[in-house]
A and B are shown apart, each in its own frame.
Chain A
Amino acid sequence: MRHDRRKFFGNAAVGAVAVTAGPALTSCAETGHYEPGKGGTRWAMVVDLRKCAEHEDCRACTDACHKKHNVPDFGDNILHEIKWIWKEHKFDHVFPSYLNHPLPARVGKKPVLVLCNHCDNPPCVRVCPTKATWRREDGIVMMDWHRCIGCRYCVVACPYGSRSFNWVNPRPHVKEITNGFPTRMKGVVEKCTLCEERILHNRLPACVEACPHGALVFGNLEDPNSEVAKIVATEFTIRRKPDLGTEPEVYYVV
């Protein structure tokens, strides 16, 4: 009896290993690294801080985005806060290479709009263990909320703090549910997905459309005739933390 029991457990263990070993060895992932100039589509956004800064209290983009995508509002609870696009209050915190650098008041004392940068070399994609987030061919760093296991490694890896985790069920905190777009559930990470559901139908991202001051420009950086390509080619733009090698695709005109 004893020897049979041992053999049984031994065989069960071998069987379990055999079943799981196959899938573990057969996948090789797309890490999402991109080289510019290849043509095709590379979505990018330009934030004109000169126009945005004049209207410090304007939240049109945040309100539009959060409403259309059923982003919950947790009020004062900053621990559980979820935000896809928002204004950060200190220029040198968003652009740390300018920390302690004397800045003109029109820049240094105004808030900066921040969102996911949809990097060409995204560290969040590199660390995701299930490919629940990945970089699409067109440049969008996408989320699959069916697959996310909520490990939050992507939140840890993002150098811009663009990602939020659902610590509790968000539904009760969504003020007004917009039909046609899901909410998310507790236990998954979420972030801006560049309104991929809208740009497919040739519409602008919700934030860009909602901006009453024309501070947001969206387009295909690989198309030299697009407005974003023209701005990036003619104006002096900066990106966030460029020395990290992430190649962000949100450009700021200062």
Chain B
Amino acid sequence: MFEKVFQGSPRYFAWVGALLVMMALAGIFYLQQLQTGLGITGLGRDVTWGFYIAQLTFLVGVAASAVMVVLPYYLHNYKAFGKMTVLGEFLAVSACTMCLLFVVVDIGSPQRALNLFFHPTPNSILFWDAVVINGYLMINALVTRVSLVAERKGEAPPKWIKPVIYLSIPWAVSIHTVTAFLYAGLGARPFWLTAILAPRFLASAFASGPSFLILLLFALKKFGNYDVGKEPILKLAQIVTYGMLINVFFVAMEMFTAFYSGNHHHTIPFQYLFVGIDEHNALVPWMWTSTVMAIVALVLLLNPKTRNDFKILPWACVLVFAAIWIDKGMGMVVTGFIPNPVGHITEYMPTLPELMISLGIYAFGFLMITVFYKIYLGVRETTH
């Protein structure tokens, strides 16, 4: 199966080449980070988690969204997703890998990363986050491998894979709930200390993940000659719509609690995000962009005429993905540190090395998806 990766059009090799170049560049910057320390990022004593952890938080959501394809197909026999479960699971493998890479580049002493497993600490949510993300990665890697091998042989997959697939469904919910718990249990950071954080994470995951999957499917149709048909895409679009609606509703809920109560701890972060505090307003343009994108996306998605129009739907998906990337990434992570525990405001913006390393990790993730989908297409070709 793997040999399919080395056969393709010039456009395919150009794409892979570009990804490899980005990875190489990131590698150079990462070497600089290993040499000098995390000081080359824009992070500091006050905003101690930033762009890297923002990507981790966002991508865990994308990974969890595989369940939105697996659940209808396996639990409710929704046959239309039959040609897609493996694609969703591959996306999960790639997203989980990127999550783990973002953790590795964010820790100060990566040579000691295995201490996480040598000295397991069950009271630490970070320990559990490492466990569940690795676990979800392994589950999906196993499921996709077994499914593809079976497909290649023209047989049904072995019976024992069914319970593993069923396990992946609550596990998907768990990876995102645990990631939300990283934030939602900290009295030190009132912006995050809210019960609705985990539900928000899940809702935004079920909007951003499937919207990315839709974009991947359009790409597969255009570049890979693989058409899953109209129905799965229409259904995914409905899922994105509901996910985005619920996500926006949850944000509105948070704003009500903050502004009706007038509690400073709750209002100040929202003030920082949408209006700025004194001269500190770095995130304001980003948040308004995210809000406008979310509203436009919802308008397009709520109207079936535009949602089901395959010329418009991809743009709605891009808007959803970008809006949530801003809101759940930098918007949520950085604002938790503003103000700091003694009331000062230090702003944060990522530096060039930070962005290049992140781009390289994304390139690696995209390379994984490219390779996986190439293998999948190859297997489907030979058997159909």
Direct chain A–B contact by Cβ atoms under 8 Å: yes
List A residues at the B interface (Cβ < 8 Å).
6, 13, 17, 20, 23-29, 31, 78-82, 88, 90, 92-94, 96, 99, 114, 123, 126-132, 147-153, 155-161, 164-169, 185-189, 241, 244-246
Say yes or no: A159-B187 contact (C-beta < 8 A), given A90-B343, A165-B45, A168-B39: yes
- The bracket for how many chain B residues form the interface is 35 or more
- By a CB distance below 8 angstroms, the chain B residues around A152 are 48-49, 107-108
| Residue in B121, B122, B149 whose CB lies within 8 Å of A130 | B121
The reply to whether B121 and A27 contact each other, CB–CB distance below 8 Å, is yes
23 A-B residue pairings within 8 Å (CB atoms)? A20-B117, A27-B119, A29-B124, A79-B44, A128-B121, A129-B116, A129-B121, A129-B124, A131-B119, A131-B121, A149-B109, A149-B116, A152-B48, A153-B126, A159-B188, A161-B342, A165-B38, A165-B48, A167-B39, A185-B109, A186-B36, A186-B108, A245-B187
Specify which of B46, B130, B186, B341 is in contact with A129 (CB 8 Å cutoff): B130
**Cβ of B264 under 8 Å from chain A:** yes
Q: Considering the chains assembled together, what is the distance between the CA atoms of A61 and B36 in angstroms?
A: 31
Nearest Cβ on chain B to A90's Cβ, whole angstroms: 7
Q: Is the interface of B mostly helix, strand, loop or mixed?
A: loop
Highest count of chain A CB atoms <10 Å: which of B36, B121, B127, B346: B121
- Contacting A at CB under 8 A, from B102-132, are 103, 106-110, 112-113, 115-127, 130-131
Q: From residue A120, how far is it (CB to closest CB) to chain B in Å? A: 14
A13 and B138 CA atoms in complex are apart in Å by 9
Q: How far is the CA of A150 from the CA of B109 in the complex (A)?
A: 5
Inter-chain contacts of B341 with A (CB < 8 A): 158-161
A114 to B112, CA, bound (A): 31
Bound state CA distance, A160 and B120, in angstroms? 26
Known: A90-B343, A129-B121, A188-B109. A147 touches B264 (CB 8 A): no
In the A-B complex, the 7 residue pairs with the smallest Cβ-Cβ separation, listed nearest first, are A150-B108, A79-B44, A187-B108, A93-B343, A159-B188, A167-B39, A161-B341
- Residues on B lying within 8 angstroms of A by beta carbon are 36-39, 42-46, 48-49, 103, 106-110, 112-113, 115-127, 130-131, 138, 149, 182, 186-189, 264, 336-337, 340-344, 346
Chain B residues contacting A148 (CB-CB under 8 Å) are 108-109, 112
Chain A-chain B contacts (Cβ-Cβ < 8 Å), number:
163
* Interchain CB contact under 8 A, A31 and B123: yes
Question: Are A150 and B124 in touch, CB under 8 angstroms?
Answer: no
Q: Are A24 and B109 in contact (CB under 8 A)?
A: no
Residue of B nearest to A161 (CB): B341
Once the chains bind, are A29 and B122 in contact (CB under 8 Å)? yes
Contacts of A23 in B (CB 8 A): 117-118, 120
Contacts known (A147-B119, A167-B38, A188-B109); A244 close to B187, Cβ less than 8 A: yes
Compute how far the CA of A25 lies from the CA of B117 in the bound complex, rounded to whole angstroms. 10
Q: Known contacts being A114-B342, A158-B341, A168-B36, is A24 close to B117, with CB within 8 Å?
A: yes
Query: Are B44 and A80 neighbours in the complex by a CB distance under 8 Å?
Result: yes
Please measure, in the bound complex, the distance between the C-alpha atom of A6 and the C-alpha atom of B43, giving whole angstroms: 43
Measured CA separation A80–B188 after assembly (Å):
21
Highest count of chain A CB atoms <10 Å: which of B46, B123, B344: B123
